[in-house]
Structure 1
Amino acid sequence: MNWETLRNHFPDQWVLFEAIEAHSDNGRRMVDRISVINNYEQGKEALEEYKVIHKKEPHRELYVAHTSKTELEIIERKWLGVRI
């Protein structure tokens, strides 16, 4: 599914989703194919579930967004320093 289809299925809700297919373009992450994990009325609930899943499986590309946004805007961050 893509973002437009997701928005139609879950109008005016928070969603936790995984990017199944994505690419980078000028410092932005472009998500081509999405798998919905869950939907929520409150963003806090979505972020709590994100933290639980991310801790268990940090390799997954997970995002939380509200479907009122017509387009996903995911800015890539560059990490500086050493992660331990």
Structure 2
Amino acid sequence: MKWKDIRDEYPDSWILLEAIEAHSDHGKRVVDKIAVLDKFNNSEEAMKAYRELHKKNPERELYVAHTKNEDLEIEERKWLGVRI
């Protein structure tokens, strides 16, 4: 799916997403194809689900976003140090 389609289908919702196809461009992550994993009424529920799924599958590219945002803007972060 595309972000516009998700916004149309899930208005005013918090969405747990998985990037199916994505690439980097000037410090931003551009998601070309998205799968909706779940829909939530508030950010706390969405982040809880994100943490649980990410803990089980850290290799998956997961995001939480609200459909009020016209564009899906994801800034890349550089990790410093060691992740355990």
TM-score of the two chains, using structure 1 as the length reference: 0.97
The answer to whether structure 1 residue 54 and structure 2 residue 57 are counterparts is no
1:82 Cα deviation (Å)?
A: 2.4
The answer to whether structure 1 residue 30 and structure 2 residue 24 are counterparts is no
What is the CA RMSD across the aligned residues, in angstroms? 0.7
One-letter amino acid of the counterpart of residue 42, structure 2: Q
Aligned residues: 84
Between the aligned partners of 1:40 and 1:67, the Cα distance in structure 2 is 11
Match of 1:81 in 2: 81
One-letter amino acid of the counterpart of residue 49, structure 1: A
**Structure 1 segments unaligned to the other structure (5+ residues):** none
Match of 1:15 in 2: 15
- SS of 1:21 mapped into structure 2: strand
1:61 Cα deviation (Å)?
A: 0.2
**Structure 2 segments unaligned to the other structure (5+ residues):** none
Cα-to-partner distance string for 1:48-80 (whole Å, 9 max, x where unaligned): 000000000000000000000000110000011
Cα-to-partner distance string for 1:27-66 (whole Å, 9 max, x where unaligned): 0000000000000111110000000000000000000000
- SS of 1:83 mapped into structure 2: coil
Between the aligned partners of 2:57 and 2:34, the Cα distance in structure 1 is 17
Aligned identity (percent) is 57
